[in-house]
Amino acid sequence: MGVKLPAFQTLVDAHWRDVARLAHALAGPVDGDDVAQQAWTQALAAYPSLRSAQNLRGWLLTITHRCAMDVHRGRARRAVPHDDPASLSTHPQAAPADADLPDGPLWAVVAALPPRQREAVVLKYVADLDHPTIAGVLGTSPAMSRRLVSDALATLRKDVP
């Protein structure tokens, strides 16, 4: 017999802010709405086949994280227009990871963090997740999620003016 799941609209009502905040934090203001919409679409498609109703918030945020990473992968593959193509080096450079982050010294340091540390900090302080849930989203252990957040905070404390 299947698991008794709440109506999908109940899930949306309870967690839409969390999904939107995480999408914007991970994908930036330009792509944040698209990431949130994609996450909800994927969640709706997978919802009827869920085997457990435990930690639905973590499940949704994992989907949101994966959608945001898809956007970042897509950015790396997109062509970047240039006025003078001849001036480009023979080794093209990817668009900077901080292209969609707000201005300011804190955001510059956050953007410069290694990707896993940046994701862990966003999940901890923007999505307000605990370490076991962060570990599930990142596919690592709770101890490693603590270490990623700790290392990121040490860098932020050192580098933010």
Q: What's 160's domain CATH number?
A: 1.10.10.10
Is 69 in the same domain as 15? yes
Collapsing DSSP to helix, strand or coil, 110 comes out as helix
Is residue 129 one of the residues assigned to a domain? yes
Is residue 18 one of the residues assigned to a domain? yes
CA distance 61 to 68: 10
- How high is the pLDDT of residue 33? 93
CA distance 39 to 11: 13
- How high is the pLDDT of residue 99? 43
Is residue 85 one of the residues assigned to a domain? no
Is 60 in the same domain as 110? no
- How high is the pLDDT of residue 98? 43
Count of domains forming the chain: 2
Query: What's the domain range around 16?
Result: 1-77
- How high is the pLDDT of residue 93? 41
Boundary-marking domain end, from 42, 77, 112: 77
Whole-structure pTM value:
0.60
- How high is the pLDDT of residue 94? 36
- How high is the pLDDT of residue 25? 87
Is residue 31 one of the residues assigned to a domain? yes
Kindly give the confidence (pLDDT) of every residue in the chain, 161 residues in length, as a single tens digit, with 9 standing for 90 and above: 467 888 899 999 999 999 999 998 888 888 899 999 999 999 999 999 988 888 899 999 999 999 998 887 776 666 667 676 666 554 434 334 444 555 667 777 887 889 899 888 888 887 788 899 888 888 899 999 999 999 999 988 888 76
CA distance 15 to 25: 16
Is 51 in the same domain as 114? no
Is residue 92 one of the residues assigned to a domain? no
Is 15 in the same domain as 66? yes
Is residue 83 one of the residues assigned to a domain? no
Element (H, E) at 97: none
- How high is the pLDDT of residue 77? 66
